[in-house]
Structure 1
Amino acid sequence: MYLFGAGGHAKVIIEILQSRKIPVEALFDGNPDIKQVWQYPVITYSPEMPVAAIIIAIGKNAVRKNIAEQLAVPFGTALHERANISPSAMIAEGTVVMAGATVNADVLIGRHCIINTNASVDHDCVLEDFVHISPNAALCGNVKVGEGAHVGAGAVVIPGITIGKWAVIGAGAVVTKDIPDHSVAVGNPARKR
């Protein structure tokens, strides 16, 4: 497996892959000052390189989408062995699920999403592509999260809520009403800023 990105997010994904005994070949990054992450070489990506699979190891949703749209390669997934993932959940390519995360029954998770450390995604939730659910965030049942939305650390979303595309939910927010596309919502209860 190759990773695209050589920052802190890449380190977490490396540990997930190590937990699953999936070898990491190298990391790609455009910063010429980064030569190595732990024992793994950091090199410049070239489309001519034969790669079995890549995971985009970048936390920013819009950047992850931009890179995914430029790469014509197979994408892998990284599901930590200490994540609780229902057998009825569907997780698309490029997605990573961190240690302690819970993904419950009939959840649908799109491409290149991040379900971060100890996040909880309850039954029948639908997460579109490029979503990031931050550490300790909780989505109750039947929540829909639009493409590219980011749910901040420790936020809580009550059942049946829709979070719009590219919306941002602040850390610790409690979402009790639908959030429109491209909105920022913070507080308890969460309000558009």
Structure 2
Amino acid sequence: MLIYGAGGHAKVIISLLRNSGTSVKAIFDDDPAKRTFEEISVTGSYDPDLHVHETLILAIGDNAKRAQLAAKIVHRFENVFHYSSLIDRDVRFGLGNVILHCAVIQTDAIIGNHCIINTSAIIEHECKISDFVHIAPGSVLCGNVTVGECTLIGAGSVVVPNVVIGKNCLIGAGSVVTKNIPDGVIVRGNPARIITQTHYGKENLALATAYGRHGNDLHSAGI
């Protein structure tokens, strides 16, 4: 297998692959200062002509960066699963996903492409996870939750059933999301409230502002 990325997330993936008996043929990274990584030579920037029959995984934690890189890769992508993950047989996956230690994905969930389901994350039944999403360690998505493209669910967050979270959102660590979240906003707290917009959220200003007012009202009422 080929790895694109030579940072902390890549360390976890390489360890997973080694423990499963999968060899890493090459590591690509755009930083010219990186010569070796985890005792493997770093090839340099992506080379579409190297090991053309090998599959590749994007070992990049940043959602937007993974999305940018995926568009230029010609190698085939593959999913990577830690052996301790618990995945129902009816779960549907795209390609390029990383499912890490002790993650749980329940029946009829749909996982898109190039998602990270991190350590001990729980995705319950019928959840729909769009492309380039990161479900951080210890997060819990209750049943029938939808998460939009390039959104990060921060570590230890809880999303209650049937909530829809938009694309390009950042859910702060430890948040409890109790209602729908529009595209392109940063939320945090219990209950989660909009704090500001992400770089991608300018077109959603009115919606975000309305949500923020309602969230403040709920917070003032102690809900």
TM above 0.5: yes
Structure with bigger helix share is: 2
SS at match of 1:27: strand
Q: Residues 41-92 of structure 1, C-alpha deviation per residue, up to 9 Å, x if partnerless? A: 2112222223311100000000000000111220111100011111111121
- In structure 2, what is the Cα distance between the partners aligned to 1:39 and 1:25? 12
How many aligned positions are there? 193
Q: Which runs of 4+ in 1 moved over 6 A?
A: none
SS at match of 1:42: strand
Residue equivalent to 1:38: 38
Residue equivalent to 1:190: 192
Letter in 1 for 2:66: R
> Which deviates the most, 40-49 or 53-62?
40-49
SS at match of 1:3: strand
Structure 1 position 19, deviation (Å): 2.8
Residue equivalent to 2:102: 100
Stretches of structure 1 lacking an aligned partner (at least 5 in a row): none
Letter in 1 for 2:142: C
- In structure 2, what is the Cα distance between the partners aligned to 1:72 and 1:191? 40
- In structure 2, what is the Cα distance between the partners aligned to 1:47 and 1:78? 21
Residue equivalent to 2:76: 74
SS at match of 1:47: coil
1:6, 1:28 within 8 Å by CA — same for their partners in 2?
Answer: yes
Residue equivalent to 1:17: 17
State the TM-score, normalizing by the size of structure 1.
Answer: 0.97
1:159 aligns with 2:192: no
- In structure 2, what is the Cα distance between the partners aligned to 1:83 and 1:41? 29
- In structure 1, what is the Cα distance between the partners aligned to 2:59 and 2:35? 16
- In structure 2, what is the Cα distance between the partners aligned to 1:37 and 1:90? 33
- In structure 2, what is the Cα distance between the partners aligned to 1:86 and 1:34? 39
Matches within 5 A, 1:68-147: 68-147=70-149
Structure 1 position 23, deviation (Å): 1.3
Compare relative contact order (CA 8 Å, sep 6+) and give the higher one, 1 or 2.
1
> Which deviates the most, 40-49 or 22-31?
40-49
Structure 1 position 20, deviation (Å): 2.3
State the TM-score, normalizing by the size of structure 2.
Answer: 0.84
- In structure 1, what is the Cα distance between the partners aligned to 2:109 and 2:83? 18
Q: Residues 99-124 of structure 1, C-alpha deviation per residue, up to 9 Å, x if partnerless? A: 01111111100000000011000000
Residue equivalent to 2:49: 48
- In structure 2, what is the Cα distance between the partners aligned to 1:127 and 1:38? 31
- In structure 2, what is the Cα distance between the partners aligned to 1:185 and 1:71? 32
Rg (Cα) greater in structure: 2
Percent identity, aligned pairs only, is 45
Residue equivalent to 2:215: none
Residue equivalent to 2:152: 150
Structure 1 position 151, deviation (Å): 0.2
